[in-house]
Structure 1
Amino acid sequence: MSETPIGSEADSTAWIVIPLYNEASVIGDVITSLLPHFPHVVCVDDGSTDGSAEVAARKGAHLVKHPVNLGQGAALQTGIEYALAHDSCEYIVTFDADGQHRIEDAIEMLEFARTEDVAIVFGSRFLDDRTDPGWIKKVVLKTAIRVTNLTTGMKLTDAHNGLRVIRRDAAAKIDLKQDRMAHATEIVLELGRTGLPWREHPVELLYTDYSKSKGQSVLNSVNILVDLVVR
């Protein structure tokens, strides 16, 4: 991973928010790689049982803990509220704990948000051909995109990508109720309702054996869609 900032100095106005659940084997490296670029890394430990919280604290992240597992949506909401409580926070970058997001992409997305004066930048793995999720996962993701776009009225090319840049005024309007994975559609819906300008930006996702083992199954993806309809 990169040891020096790419195209910018360390950015103290952007706060990284990482939902964290049982990622003790990888979260240390993720935090260590982020901190030279982003001094404010917030890990929301969502009831981990493998020592993830201790690793995050030891590596220098801001640590907020849920005593029990509430789900990724709840962890994101907690992290966003924590970041917004600090006056230095101008942008929030949501980032996954499993190592599949690239710091270079986060830096480029932040620069894009500033230069293009947009409030929300969604990372998309489908705007170029660098990412190969495999055909089964691709079918599931494309189905989720269609459902999300129908539900939200937006036209995204990648609906379940956790790498996002959200300006403070947009982040302040987020109030996630979907506590588990259905939050990915809910956050798109809430950001779209702000009426603030948004864009997508190409990113590359790093599918390691580890991250693949943590991925969504077809059955779980169906459960996400059912959860959205029921709630």
Structure 2
Amino acid sequence: MISVPPDPLDVLLLALAGGVLYWGFDRYRRRFKRRDLAIAFALAGGVASFVFVPETFDLVGSLLEIERRYIVVSLLANFVLLGIALYVMSLASGAQNEVAALTRSLTIEQAPRTDGGGETVFVVIPAYDESDTIGTVVSSLPETIHGYAVQPLVVSDGSDDKTAANAAAAGAMVVEHPINQGQGGALKTGFEIALANDAAIVVTADGDGQHPPEELDRLLAPIVDGEADYVMGSRFLGIDRTDNGIVRRTGIRFFTGAINVLMDTDITDCTNGYRAIRGSMLDRLTLTEERFNAPELIIEARKNGLRLTEIPVKIEDRKDGDTKKPKLGFAIGLTRIIVVAWLR
């Protein structure tokens, strides 16, 4: 009987399958994640099938009308590679979310407590490297409004300058993220601190001086009068003095229209960060977005039955420094969060 020497390619493929199985076994015994073991078995089985049942690839090739086996193998390998890439991306995203949650948790634990009880309006100001403007923004806020004490809360979001020191010197409650979390992440920290202090109303404002404090009276009035739970400022109903170009303005109107269609609303400015929310309603909102948070807030408020209203406000241009708003990822980010928040 003539012995046929093993095909070197088959030997290589079997060695690869064995290596993948060992990887999966080693991952499982260290982390006990059945997902890792299942992926290893699936990949190893696919590689081994090329050695033991090569006809499988011929069958797939005939279904796809591909005659050459190596093209079928390349096609399937690309699908597997795509799956692995998506899996790695999900792991990275999960790790990033864990770091963000830990960062916010540590920051919230260090936050001071006020004795204002339910008679306080918290003005949450996320700030990233806004040392030139944050002091003026904080000091320009009134001490009381509509009978409520005003408590400025500055969340210094990984700033490398004197943002935190200047805000504290101006009289704000200040907390610091050791790592930049984005505006959405900073607002979530501020919201949790405001809730822990039983804030009656929570206002959000930017740290660059774009949101004039004289607008606060009208922004809070619908909530104080019991007419609304969520009040949004609109630059398109009021006055817009920012240096936004035609492309960005058109984009804002487009995404605002999309939210109106999806959520049966009638708003005009979905990205405006000047807003007021009844404190007792905040814990109804499920907020996951770290950066493009404005559409998520609107969609969550609408889903959870908050009474929304919009008022005209004046938006000033930045007082100093450069904008931190992304340009290239603006449309992509808004599209993603609108779709995710709507389907969630």
Q: Same fold (TM over 0.5)?
A: yes
Alignment partner, residue 31 of structure 1: 138
1:184 has 2:291 as partner: no
Structure 1 or 2: more helix by fraction: 2
Whether the 8 Å contact between 2:128 and 2:159 is mirrored in structure 1 is: yes
Gaps of 5+ in 1: 1-10
Query: In the alignment, does 2:309 pair up with 1:202?
Result: no
| Paired AA for residue 224 in structure 1 | G
Contact 1:145/1:157 (<8 A) preserved: yes
Q: Partners of 1:151 and 1:51 in 2: how far apart?
A: 42
TM-score when scaled to structure 1? Answer: 0.85
**Count of residue pairs brought into register by the alignment:** 217
Identity of counterpart residues, as a percentage? 35
Aligned residues of 1:119 and 1:197 also touching (Cα < 8 A): yes
Q: CA deviation at 1:215?
A: 5.9
Partner of 1:22: 129
Counterpart CA distance in 2 for 1:92 and 1:104 is 16
Q: CA deviation at 1:222?
A: 1.8
Tell me which residue corresponds to 2:278: 167
- Hey, what's the Cα distance between the residues in 1 that align with 2:231 and 2:154? 21
Match of 2:331 among 216, 222, 229: 222
**Amino acid of the residue matched to residue 207 of structure 2?**
A
**1:126 corresponds to 2:236:** yes
Judged with a 3 Å threshold, the aligned counterparts in structure 2 of structure 1 residues 145 and 215 are, in CA distance, closer, same or farther, namely farther
CA contact (8 A) 1:12 1:40 kept: no
Q: Secondary structure of 1:189's partner?
A: helix
User: 8 Å contact 1:77–1:175 — kept in the other structure?
Assistant: no
- In 1: Cα distance, 2:303 partner to 2:223 partner: 18
Instruction: Rate the CA distance shift 1:209–1:55 in 2: closer, same or farther, 3 A.
Output: closer
1:106–1:163 CA contact under 8 A, matched in 2: no
Which ranges of structure 2 fall in alignment gaps of 5 or more residues?
Answer: 1-117
Give the corresponding residue for 1:117.
227
Larger mean CA deviation between 71-80 and 104-113 belongs to 104-113
The alpha-carbon deviation at position 150 of structure 1 amounts to 3.9
- The answer for the alignment partner of 1:40 in structure 2 is 151
Equivalent position SS for 1:112: helix
RMSD, aligned CA: 2.3
**Considering only CA atoms, is the larger Rg found in Structure 1 or Structure 2?**
2
Paired AA for residue 107 in structure 1: D
Is the 8 Å Cα contact of residues 152 and 188 (structure 1) preserved in structure 2? no
Counterpart for residue 61 of structure 1: 172
TM-score if structure 2 supplies the norm length? 0.58
Q: Residue 216 and residue 149 in structure 1: after superposition, are their counterparts in 2 closer, same or farther (change >3 A)? A: farther
The one-character-per-residue Cα deviations of 1:79-123 (angstroms, maximum 9, x if unpaired) are 011011113x11001111110001121221112322252111111
Report if aligned partners of 2:285, 2:304 keep a CA contact under 8 Å in 1: no
